[in-house]
A and B are shown apart, each in its own frame.
Chain A
């Protein structure tokens, strides 16, 4: 049964991915404005335009273009960026590490912060502290990452200028790494100056991305903790002399975590989606920032590549969440 549900899930995922490819292709092709005309200097001849159109495959019919494009994509060929004149996959892969590092840092902050607030709320349940935490996490939750990013720009960029508000790394630092995972490779190579600089540049955008998710985790996890704390086995732990805090940390947390995990998985995709605008606010050199530039410059192949990559990332994360939930929850295994 597990195999069958997994297979069905994989099949629908493939259908969704194909649908995404169709939507991306159609959207980008109906965009007005001739990108070829923008590439050539004024005074280019008809023949020049036709030659360039043939080079990028724009002279064929739309279904033909779709088949050629999809065939290329399946082989890892996403075309050539019109403005940057380099292969799209190369460009996208050079920016992906920056966005992934930012998203992972935001996720770590969100989980740590959310869990801490949930534990404190559960420990102080029924007091003014809990009400205060509930109200503030409710407010934090309804304000999106875009606004948090700007709030941090004002707070730590102007009022108390301790952090840099733009870029990914201090331009003075020379980086000769093989990958663009500055933080991870910096750690491996022991280049702590690189790690320190990237982390301090990432802190504000990551916090902006993390806050709404942290509030969400805090609310759900506290609710689950409070339910678990009414169970007999936690009473037993109290009777055995454990303090309330260690009952929560040792007994309750583990059992309250499963529903939270699903939430985190699904919300992680929204967090990654948020990087697009947050990177823009902080001029952070990631995929999102590149995507907005590509849209403004009407760089069709690059837009297609980036949107497709984001979509594939979302779909795969959702798939993994679903599958791991089925594996972790015995009740669903035969459902």
Chain B
């Protein structure tokens, strides 16, 4: 018996670590690339050179030295555009996810804890919001607010707050029935103080997991909006606009689609794995 209980947590801990470190390694690389983009990018991401158009990546015949991942239809370096694209991807994911999280979690906490009319109004809003197809809603909002990064971030927050509101509301309702909440109230704590100092710490693991998930989603939404040419100007390097270009030139230069796609894939996967890993690590019940 002693052997089993001693061995089991150790094996789990090792798997958890891998699940934390692999995503962190990739996201760290992306973050460094984003921070030092002008230093690490081998070429100017905007420089067009029609003599160098549609060069294949360096492992293929016909490639040009110095253009490791090839060039697009306008002769722009794919690797440099990806490195600069990481800036926009990370910027949107951090700012949009944080805004969405603040907004949605606050509404979820209020609805779950105060109940009554608060809950009725917020829940009805969530119902109405959930009736819109998210991608169409995002496209529509950006069209209304005008293209640009601010609109993209606002659109993400305006659409995805429901994800936080729903989950946090449900968890808050569970927590609000716990004995420790009653003890705090008997101890003389005010309602709002109880919510912030007693309930918030207990729903925090879920908020962190959702925040990670939302960062991945924000990267995707930005890419989708760039793909339909509604994010920032199409000349600026974003993974989504590269993908749109690659999709159009698919029969001539598939690498323009492949490499940003891999970057998006790994980023989304990393955020969701990290979210799961962090949730397990911080959740006192699961430990």
Interface residues of A (CB under 8 A from B): 12, 15-17, 19-20, 23, 27-28, 30-32, 139, 142-144, 146-147, 150-151, 153-154, 157-158, 165, 272-274, 276-277, 280-281, 288, 291-292, 295-296, 298, 303, 306-307, 310-311, 314-315
Contacts of B131 in A (CB 8 A): 16-17, 20, 311, 314-315
Q: Is the interface of A mostly helix, strand, loop or mixed?
A: helix
The 9 closest A-B pairs by CB, nearest first: A273-B133, A142-B272, A19-B128, A311-B131, A276-B135, A31-B144, A295-B143, A158-B254, A277-B135
Contacts of A19 in B (CB 8 A): 124-125, 127-128
Contacts of A151 in B (CB 8 A): 261, 265
Among A142, A157, A314, the residue within 8 A (CB) of B269 is: A142
Interface centre among A12, A16, A314 (most CB of B within 10 A): A16
Are B265 and A147 in contact, CB atoms less than 8 angstroms apart?
A: yes
Are B265 and A288 in contact, CB atoms less than 8 angstroms apart?
A: no
Are B139 and A16 in contact, CB atoms less than 8 angstroms apart?
A: no
Contacts of A147 in B (CB 8 A): 220, 261, 264-265, 268
Contacts of B125 in A (CB 8 A): 19
1/0 contact string of B234-260 vs chain A (CB within 8 Å) = 000000000100010011001001100
Are A150 and B269 in contact, CB atoms less than 8 angstroms apart?
A: no
Query: Measured between alpha carbons, how far is A17 from B127 in the docked complex, in Å?
Result: 10
Contacts of A274 in B (CB 8 A): 133, 135
**Interchain nearest-CB distance for A251 vs B (Å):** 32
Are A143 and B265 in contact, CB atoms less than 8 angstroms apart?
A: yes
- 30 A–B pairs (Cβ distance < 8 Å), ordered by A: A12-B124, A16-B124, A16-B127, A19-B125, A19-B127, A20-B128, A20-B131, A20-B132, A23-B128, A27-B141, A30-B144, A31-B143, A31-B144, A139-B269, A143-B265, A144-B220, A146-B227, A147-B220, A150-B243, A150-B257, A150-B261, A154-B250, A288-B136, A291-B136, A295-B139, A295-B230, A307-B132, A307-B140, A314-B131, A315-B131
Q: Residue on A with the closest CB to B264?
A: A147
Contacts of A288 in B (CB 8 A): 133, 135-136
Q: Residue on B with the closest CB to A31?
A: B144
Are A314 and B254 in contact, CB atoms less than 8 angstroms apart?
A: no
Contacts of A23 in B (CB 8 A): 128, 132
How many chain B residues touch A (CB < 8 A): the figure is 41
**Interchain nearest-CB distance for B23 vs A (Å):** 11
**Interchain nearest-CB distance for A232 vs B (Å):** 27
Q: Residue on A with the closest CB to B127?
A: A16
Are B254 and A154 in contact, CB atoms less than 8 angstroms apart?
A: yes
Are A154 and B146 in contact, CB atoms less than 8 angstroms apart?
A: no
Q: Residue on A with the closest CB to B139?
A: A295
Are A142 and B216 in contact, CB atoms less than 8 angstroms apart?
A: yes
Report if B42 contacts A (CB, 8 A): no
Q: Residue on A with the closest CB to B131?
A: A311
Report if B80 contacts A (CB, 8 A): no
Interface centre among B125, B133, B135, B250 (most CB of A within 10 A): B133
Q: Residue on A with the closest CB to B130?
A: A314
With A158-B254, A292-B139, A310-B133 given, name 16 new contacts (CB 8 A). Answer: A19-B125, A19-B127, A23-B132, A143-B265, A144-B217, A147-B220, A150-B243, A165-B250, A272-B133, A273-B134, A295-B140, A295-B230, A296-B228, A303-B140, A310-B132, A314-B133
Query: Measured between alpha carbons, how far is A298 from B147 in the docked complex, in Å?
Result: 13
Are B261 and A15 in contact, CB atoms less than 8 angstroms apart?
A: no
**Interchain nearest-CB distance for A162 vs B (Å):** 15
Known pairs A276-B133, A288-B136; A281 contacts B247 (CB<8 A) = yes
Are A276 and B136 in contact, CB atoms less than 8 angstroms apart?
A: yes
Contacts of A146 in B (CB 8 A): 220, 223-224, 227
Are A298 and B143 in contact, CB atoms less than 8 angstroms apart?
A: yes
**Interchain nearest-CB distance for A94 vs B (Å):** 18
Interface centre among B131, B217, B220, B227 (most CB of A within 10 A): B131
**Interchain nearest-CB distance for B227 vs A (Å):** 7
Q: Residue on A with the closest CB to B240?
A: A146
Among B136, B216, B227, the residue within 8 A (CB) of A273 is: B136
Are B268 and A144 in contact, CB atoms less than 8 angstroms apart?
A: yes
Q: Residue on B with the closest CB to A283?
A: B247
Report if B93 contacts A (CB, 8 A): no
Query: Measured between alpha carbons, how far is A32 from B251 in the docked complex, in Å?
Result: 38
Q: Residue on B with the closest CB to A291?
A: B136
Q: Residue on B with the closest CB to A281?
A: B247
Q: Residue on B with the closest CB to A266?
A: B130
Report if B273 contacts A (CB, 8 A): yes
Contacts of A273 in B (CB 8 A): 133-136
Are B144 and A154 in contact, CB atoms less than 8 angstroms apart?
A: no
Are B140 and A27 in contact, CB atoms less than 8 angstroms apart?
A: yes
**Interchain nearest-CB distance for A213 vs B (Å):** 15
**Interchain nearest-CB distance for A308 vs B (Å):** 10
Known pairs A27-B141, A31-B143; A154 contacts B261 (CB<8 A) = yes
Known pairs A143-B268, A310-B133; A153 contacts B227 (CB<8 A) = no
Contacts of B139 in A (CB 8 A): 276, 291-292, 295
**Interchain nearest-CB distance for B80 vs A (Å):** 21
Among B127, B220, B227, the residue within 8 A (CB) of A280 is: B227
Q: Residue on A with the closest CB to B141?
A: A27
Query: Measured between alpha carbons, how far is A157 from B224 in the docked complex, in Å?
Result: 20
